[in-house]
Amino acid sequence: MIVKPMIRNNICINCHPEGCMAYARGWIAQAKGLMPESGRAPGGAELPKLALVVGCSSGYGLASRIAAAFGCRAATVGVSFEKTPEKKAGTLGYYNNLAFETEAEKSGLVALTVNADAFSDEAKAKTAEAIREAARRAGIPAKVDLFVYSLASPVRVDPKTGVMHKSAIKPIGGAFSGRTLAMDGSFGHAEAQPASEDEIAATIKVMGGEDWELWHEALDREGLLAPDARALAYTYIGPEHSWPIYKNGTIGRAKEDLERACRAINAKSAASGNSARAWVSVQKALVTRASAVIPVIPLYVSCLFKAMKEKGLHEGCMEQIARLFRERLYAEGSADPASVPVDEAGRIRLDDWEMREDVQALTREKMEAACEGNVFEVTDVEGFRRDFMQAHGFEVEGVDYENAD
C-alpha cells in the first residue's frame, strides 16, 4: 500500500519503511566520506574494535553506531526496542536497524542487534550474550572498548520495583509561555504548567543516569568492559532563553543526574586502577521527535539552522558524530583519555559552533523578526520540516512514494 505521513500536533505517528532504510543508507554513505579509512588523525587513541550502542536505532545513537562500524571498522552490538512488521508496519527504528545490518554484512562487518526494553535486566543479559557472539564472529576478545548510551524513551519500568515511571517535559517553579512555530510556518502560543515533585522525580528516573550506571555495572560484572573502554552519553544545554523549559526544567534535572552518573562511573574506574573513562557530550540542537513538540524549540531551531547555514557551520546528526570521533574522542593526542578536550565541568562540547556569540546573536535577531509574513525567508522552518519528515522515512531522495508494492 502507498504510505502517507500521519502528523498530529508536530508528532508523526507512522513511518515509511523504504524511506527509513534509504535515509539510514544515506547516513552510512555520509560517514564513509566524513571518516575515510582510519577515521581519526594519526597519534590518537586506538580505534574501537567492539562497540556497544544502547539506543541504536535513530538519532545520535544510530549515527554513533554507523561511525563506529563504517568509520572505525568495529564490530557492533546495538540495543533498541522496536515493533516488528507483522499486520502493521514496524517502527522506524526497526527499518533503520535493518538497513544498518544489511549494509554492515555487505561490508564484512559484524553487527548484532538486541530487540528488547533496554531498561530491563533481561535486555542486559541478552546483550551480554550478543557481545560474546559478536566477538566470536569477529575473532576478537569479548571486551567492549566503546560504549555509547543514547537511550530516548518517555517511560521506564524500574527493574527492581516494577514501577513504571513517565517523564514530563515541564518547567520547574513556575509556568512557561512563549511563541512556538508549527512545521507549516504558522505561529502559536504555547504554555506549560510547572512540574510537580513527583513529575520531576519520574523524569529523572526515566531520562537520568541511573540506567547508564546499571549498564556499566552489568558489563563489568560479566567481564565485558575493556580496561581502557571509552563511554559516552549525550546531552543538550542550549541558549539561555530556552532554559526555563529545558535546562532549568525537568529535562535539565534529568541531564544533571546523567552528569552525576558520569562522575560516579569515572570514580569507580579510577578506584579499580584501569584507564576506562566516561564522558557526557553536549551536542548541538537537532530535529528530533521530542524537539518538535517542546515549546519555543521549533522556532529556535528553525532560526538557528538558518543562521548556521548562512555562516557555513550547520551540521546534521551524522556530521556531528563524525566530528566527535575525529576531533574529540579519537583525535590526535587523545591516546590518554585525560587529553580528550573537555570544558570546566569535564564535558565534551560539540555545541561549540551553535553557542558561538555571533551565531547566537544572529539567531536571536531572526527569532525577533520572524512572523507569518516572512517566516520562510527569516527562518529555516522548511529545513526543520524536511529533517523531521526524513527521520520518519518521508521525502527521502530516490524513494518512489507512489509505488504500492
CB neighbours of 188 closer than 8 A, spacing ≥ 6? 179, 180, 181, 182
- Residues 161, 272, 281, 50: is their CA dihedral positive or negative? negative
State which amino acid sits at residue 390: Q
246 in active site: yes
Distance CA 232, CA 62 (A): 13
Q: Residue 121: how many CB atoms within 10 A of its CB?
A: 12
CB neighbours of 272 closer than 8 A, spacing ≥ 6? none
Residue pair 51/61 in contact by the 8 Å Cβ criterion: no
Residue pair 16/401 in contact by the 8 Å Cβ criterion: yes
Distance CA 106, CA 126 (A): 25
Phi first, then psi, for residue 305 (nearest 5°) are: -55, -45
State which amino acid sits at residue 21: M
- Edge-first strand order for the sheet with 144-149 is 111-115, 75-80, 50-54, 144-149, 225-235, 277-282, 348-349
Distance CA 364, CA 302 (A): 11
The one catalytic residue among 149, 234, 246, 330: 246
| Residue 159, Cβ density class (10 Å: 0-12 exposed, 13-18 middle, ≥19 buried) | middle
Q: Which residues are catalytic?
A: 246
